[in-house]
Every structure is written in structure tokens, then in C-alpha cells.
């Protein structure tokens, strides 16, 4: 039986590439991954409600992406959702009275975490926990509030 090394190499390369692609689909496209480089520091932010915020979402200050949401879990003693943020070292001057809120990018876009810088002289450092947060706006709550207000106004007009 004749052996042809170039055929074997070609086939090996093809099979390897194919499995690499399958592996990539399984790990990179479907779940978590993505490194932001190792030059980063970590903050945690406790929210009453994170809405649709997901791990991997950007963290921005004034619209500039400075980091990512690393993970989100639930703190069952404080009854709050805790988002772990990893922020690029270059942006290490965030005043420690800055306000943190969850916003939505675009109509169908994903949520992101936005900082509004405060005026304090001291900055957040690695490992700080941020309590001054504003929850995600849940559209259903907003609509029900609006409807109840309208209904209340209607009732007032009819009574006198």
C-alpha cells in the first residue's frame, strides 16, 4: 500500500481545522470568553435589579467603553444583584462618589453599565463595592406606572 505524506498532512490539517471551528463555535460564539487584557482592575456594583444586563456587556463613562461586565450573581444576604466589573487600568481615576446606572443601547440593543463621574477627590480602587447605583429601567414597570397615573387622573376628573 502506497503512503503519501502530503495527503496525510492535508487531511490532518483539514480535520484539525474543522474541529477547531466546532470548538470555537462551542466556546466562543455560544458562551463566555473574551479577555480584555490583563491590565484591569475590578469593582463590584450592587443593583436592586439588573434587568437584561449580561456578562460581557460594556462599561462606559460618557459613552466611552472602559471595561466589561465580568459576571453577575445574586447576593442573598443583601437581596441584591451584584455585577462584577473589570475596568481598564488606564481609566483608574473614577471618583468614589460616581453614580452607576444600567442603560439600554438602542431600541433592541443590549444593556450596558454607565458611570456618571462625581466630584470626590478619592477614586475607586481595585475591589471596591459600589452601593450608589441606579437599577435598570424595566419597561413593564414604567408602563404600568404610567397607566395607573392616567387612570388616577381620569378618576379625579370625574368625581367633582
Partner 1 sequence: MSGHAVSSVLAQFGRFTLFFGRLCAGVPSVLRRPRLLVEQVHMTGALSLVIIMLSGLFVGMVLGLQGYDLLRRFGSTESLGTAAALGLLRELGPVITALLFAGRAGTAITSEIGLMLATDQLAAMDMMAVDPVRRICVPRFVGGVVSMPLLAAIFAVIGIYGAQLVGVELMRIDAGQFWSQMRGAVEWRDIVEGVVKSLAFGVACSAIAVYEGYHAVPTAEGVGRATTRTVVTSSVAVLAIDYMLTAVLL
Minimum CB separation from partner 1 for residue 23, in Å?
9
Q: Which cell goes with 149?
A: 397615573
Chain residues 20-49 in contact with partner 1, contact rule CB under 8 A: 21-22, 24-26, 28-34
Between CA 69 and CA 155 the distance in angstroms is 45
End-to-end CA distance of the chain, in Å?
A: 103
# residues contacting partner 1 (CB under 8 A):
37
Element (H, E) at 93: none
Closer CB to partner 1, 132 or 137, in the complex:
137
Residues 6+ apart with CB under 8 A from 27: 33
Rounded Cα distance, 50 and 47, in Å = 6
CB of 45 to partner 1, least distance (A): 17
Single out the residue of 5, 37, 62, 106 in contact with partner 1 (rule: CB under 8 A). 106
Positions that interact with partner 1 (CB under 8 A): 1, 7-8, 10-11, 13-15, 17-19, 21-22, 24-26, 28-34, 54-58, 65, 68, 105-110, 112
Amino acid at each position: 500500500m502506497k503512503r503519501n505524506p502530503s495527503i496525510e498532512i492535508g487531511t490532518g490539517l483539514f480535520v484539525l481545522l474543522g474541529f477547531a471551528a466546532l470548538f470555537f463555535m462551542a466556546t466562543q460564539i455560544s458562551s463566555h470568553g473574551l479577555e480584555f487584557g490583563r491590565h484591569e482592575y475590578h469593582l463590584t456594583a450592587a443593583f436592586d435589579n439588573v434587568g437584561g444586563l449580561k456578562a460581557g456587556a460594556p462599561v462606559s463613562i460618557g459613552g466611552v467603553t472602559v471595561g466589561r461586565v465580568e459576571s453577575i450573581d445574586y447576593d442573598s444576604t443583601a437581596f441584591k444583584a451584584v455585577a462584577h466589573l473589570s475596568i481598564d487600568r488606564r481609566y483608574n481615576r473614577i471618583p468614589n462618589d460616581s453614580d452607576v446606572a444600567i442603560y439600554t443601547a438602542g431600541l433592541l440593543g443590549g444593556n450596558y453599565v454607565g458611570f456618571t463621574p462625581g466630584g470626590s477627590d478619592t477614586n475607586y480602587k481595585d475591589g471596591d463595592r459600589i452601593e450608589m447605583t441606579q437599577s435598570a429601567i424595566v419597561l413593564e414597570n414604567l408602563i404600568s406606572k404610567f397607566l395607573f397615573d392616567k387612570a388616577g387622573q381620569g378618576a379625579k376628573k370625574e368625581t367633582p
